[in-house]
Amino acid sequence: MNNPYESQSARISFISRQTDNIKLFRFELGKKIKYQPGQFVELSLPGFGEAPFAPCGDAKENYIELCVRNAGKLTAKLHEMKVGDKVGLRGPFGNGVWPLNKYDFKKQKNLFIAVGGLGFVPLRTLILGKDDLLGSGTKVQIFYGAKSPDDMLFRHEYDRWKKQNIQLELTVDKECVGWKGCTGLVTTLFDKHEVVQNSVAFICGPPVMYRPILEKLQKLGFADEDIYLSLERRMHCGIGVCQHCAVGPYYTCKDGPVFSWAQLKTIPEAI
């Protein structure tokens, strides 16, 4: 019988430091994990446990990239690891993904993305696969908020993305030396830049940022069905059994982690 808890061995082939406590790891796999943007995998290290992470790399590649903050026992150990070391990976999990097939992004719809902190992670896959997933003419607008300029993920890639018809607007929480851009929460970007017309919204970030962004989007006339958010929850099994990630009638791991606001708006504890 198939064992959903069995992981495959994955070898670290590349590490890049993103911020003082976030690193990007690339893992080579024996058997490709074929995933869609929005899904996640469970990474484990014997003795240190297991935790869910959303891939952030190009989904076409055979390897998997995870962007991990040093935040606990498992991730601290991972941060100590070097190229050549091995971890366990299982997945992909999640049926709720960014709805790329629901809309005609190639011709009809544009994409608005609002992300904060590590919330950028699951959307990098979408940006890297933009030409296949969205179409070259699709307008993509990203509002990204981070604590400080040094906390911005993937920042060496921004220039390349801007050349690909992506409008990237940045903000940092507080004013700081050397930063000439916008300061304040992600929502302040709504006052400075016009949100791209005729678009679908994808949101991902810390829970505190969801309500203010939803308010802005609703004022702009976005329908609840056209706003998508990725939920963060504690997860153990990844397959809708252990109950940790339950949100009302849904399991974040199985039915999500990406949900439309129409699905979540009546659930009190959702965001």
Partner 1 sequence: MTQGGLEKFVAYLRQNGWPIFGPVFSAEKTEEVSPFLAAHQPKSAHKDGQIYIKEIQKAEDLDLSGQLPFYSFKRFFVPEQECLFQYEKEKLDQPEKEQKAALLGMSILDLKAVNLYDQVFEKDPYYQLRRRNLLIIGYSLTPEIQGNLFEIEYEENILEHLPFDIFLVKTDKAFKVFTGSIKGQRVLEDFGYKDYQHIQYSGPVKEGKLEERMERLRDRLKNHPNPQIWEELGKICIECGKCTLACPTCFCFRIDDKPALKEGAGKRTREWDSCFYQEFSEVAGGHKFLKTTAARILFWYYHKFARIPDEFDFMGCVGCKRCAKVCPVGINIEEVLKKIENS
In the complex, the residues that contact partner 1 under the rule CB under 8 A are 1-7, 9, 44, 46-51, 69, 71-72, 75, 86, 88, 206-207, 232-234, 236-237, 239, 241-244, 246-249, 268-269
Least distance between partner 1 and beta carbon 262 (Å):
15
If the CB atoms of residues 40 and 222 are measured against partner 1, the closer one turns out to be 40
Least distance between partner 1 and beta carbon 124 (Å):
19
Backbone angles phi, psi at 176, to 5 degrees: -155, 165
CB atoms within 10 A of CB 232: 18
Least distance between partner 1 and beta carbon 156 (Å):
25
- Region of 97 (left: φ > 0; alpha: ψ -120 to 50; beta: rest) is beta
If the CB atoms of residues 115 and 140 are measured against partner 1, the closer one turns out to be 115
15 bridge partner residues = 25
Nearest partner of 230 among 97, 70, 67, judged by Cα: 97
Least distance between partner 1 and beta carbon 176 (Å):
22
If the CB atoms of residues 5 and 14 are measured against partner 1, the closer one turns out to be 5
Least distance between partner 1 and beta carbon 6 (Å):
7
If the CB atoms of residues 137 and 248 are measured against partner 1, the closer one turns out to be 248
Cα angle value 66/34/73 (rounded, 5°): 30
If the CB atoms of residues 140 and 229 are measured against partner 1, the closer one turns out to be 229
Least distance between partner 1 and beta carbon 53 (Å):
10
If the CB atoms of residues 139 and 236 are measured against partner 1, the closer one turns out to be 236
